[in-house]
Amino acid sequence: MSLNESIVEDAALEWFGELGYALGHGPQLAPGEPAAERESFGEVVLVGRLRMAMRRLNPAIPEEAAATHKESLSVQNTSKAG
């Protein structure tokens, strides 16, 4: 059996499903589709999902702190280790 993208993708989807992650079909979530959660594939972080997870995991933190942490997690880090 040769290893290809489909085999790896199917295994990863099964694993994430077993861990309780909600799975979505890629083309339905792509930018421009009704269920899209980002405007382009360049937006790696799904900000809406991040915001909901932060609220669920940290219900007591102030909104300002949540916004600061959301920003630090979703901004591309352009610095390079020396």
How many Å apart are CA 31 and CA 25, to the nearest integer?
13
Q: Is residue 66 part of a domain?
A: yes
Owning domain of residue 12: 1-38
- Are 11 and 27 in a shared domain? yes
- Are 32 and 49 in a shared domain? no
Q: What is the pTM of this model?
A: 0.62
Predicted pLDDT of residue 82: 44
Q: Is residue 54 part of a domain?
A: yes
- Are 11 and 28 in a shared domain? yes
Domain count for the chain: 2
pLDDT (tens digit, 9 = 90+) per residue, 8-36? Answer: 999 999 999 999 988 887 888 889 999 89
